[in-house]
Amino acid sequence: MIGRIRGVLLEQEPDRVVVETSGGVGYEVIVAPRLMMELPAPGTEVTLFVHTQVREDAITLYGFQDRTDRAVFRLVLTVQGIGPKLAMALVGTTDPAALAAAIAREDVAGLTRVPGLGKKTAGRLVLELKDKLDKLLISQGRDFASVANASLMPAAAEAPAVEDAKAALSALGYNAREITRAMGKVDPQPADTVQSVLRRALKVLSPA
152 in a domain, yes or no? no
pTM above 0.75, yes or no: no
Residues 100 and 117 in one domain: yes
Looking at the 3D structure of the chain, how many domains does it have?
Answer: 3
- Write down the pLDDT at residue 36: 78
Give the number of other Cβ atoms within 10 Å of residue 29's Cβ.
21
153 in a domain, yes or no? no
Q: What is the pLDDT of residues 34-65, one digit of tens each?
A: 787 788 888 999 999 999 999 888 899 999 98
Q: Report the CATH number that the domain containing residue 11 is assigned in CATH.
A: 2.40.50.140
- The pLDDT confidence band at residue 82, using thresholds 50, 70 and 90, is very high
Residues 71 and 134 in one domain: yes
96 in a domain, yes or no? yes
Determine what percent of the chain is predicted with pLDDT higher than 90. Answer: 28
Q: Report the CATH number that the domain containing residue 200 is assigned in CATH.
A: 1.10.8
Q: Are 196 and 164 in contact (CB under 8 A)?
A: no
Q: What is the pLDDT of residues 175-207, one digit of tens each?
A: 777 888 888 788 777 667 777 888 888 888 876
Where does residue 28 rank: exposed (0-12), middle (13-18), buried (19+ CB within 10 A)? middle
Q: List the domain range (segments joined by +) for residue 95.
A: 67-147
